[in-house]
């Protein structure tokens, strides 16, 4: 969350835009810990409570693999990259200024060897 707020505050936008984008980004970012907590609870039930609980939940090998993947995404990967992805989504107009623009009908000729 601090990285997302720092990125929003440093972007060259009006203070009202910064406040709106900080609030919207924080709301979206809060979904990631919810996902991580839910996957952690399921991980405890399936992997740590014993095979009887996992069998009672009806888990199969594929669902256990998907649960492990979801847990790792929720705890390791998404918290690290989500602030940058959310910021990039909220600041598309700013990022368009930095990306090279192509003009229709413009052809690029490469030198021949």
Asked whether residue 102 is assigned to any structural domain, the reply reads no
Cα separation, 7 vs 19, in Å, equals 12
How big is the CA angle at 73 (ends 18 and 76), to the nearest 5 degrees? 80
In a domain, 112, yes or no: no
Q: Please state the pTM of the whole predicted model.
A: 0.70
pLDDT band at 104 (very low <50, low <70, confident <90, very high): low
With 0-12 / 13-18 / 19 or more C-beta atoms within 10 angstroms meaning exposed / middle / buried, residue 83 is: buried
Establish if 98 belongs to a structural domain: no
User: What is the arithmetic mean of pLDDT over 9-19?
Assistant: 91
Q: What's the CA dihedral at 96, 99, 105, 110 to 10 degrees?
A: 180
What is the mean predicted confidence (pLDDT) over 22-28?
A: 94
Q: Residue 113 falls within a domain, yes or no?
A: no
Q: What are phi and psi of 21, to 5 degrees?
A: -70, -35
Does the residue 42 lie in any domain? yes
Give me the pLDDT at residue 27, please: 95
Q: Domain limits at 82?
A: 2-93
| Residue 16: per-residue pLDDT | 92
Asked if residue 100 is part of any domain, the answer here is: no
């Amino acid at each position: 969350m601090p990285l997302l707020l720092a990125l929003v505050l440093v972007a060259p936008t009006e203070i009202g835009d910064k406040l709106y984008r900080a609030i919207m980004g924080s709301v979206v970012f809060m979904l990631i810990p919810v996902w991580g907590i839910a996957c952690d609870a399921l991980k405890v039930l399936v992997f740590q409570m014993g095979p009887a609980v996992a069998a009672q939940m009806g888990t199969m090998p594929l669902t256990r693999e998907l649960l492990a993947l979801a847990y790792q995404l929720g705890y390791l990967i998404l918290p690290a990259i989500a602030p940058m992805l959310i910021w990039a989504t909220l600041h598309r107009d700013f990022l368009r200024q930095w990306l090279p623009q192509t003009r229709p009908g413009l052809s690029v000729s490469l030198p021949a060897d």
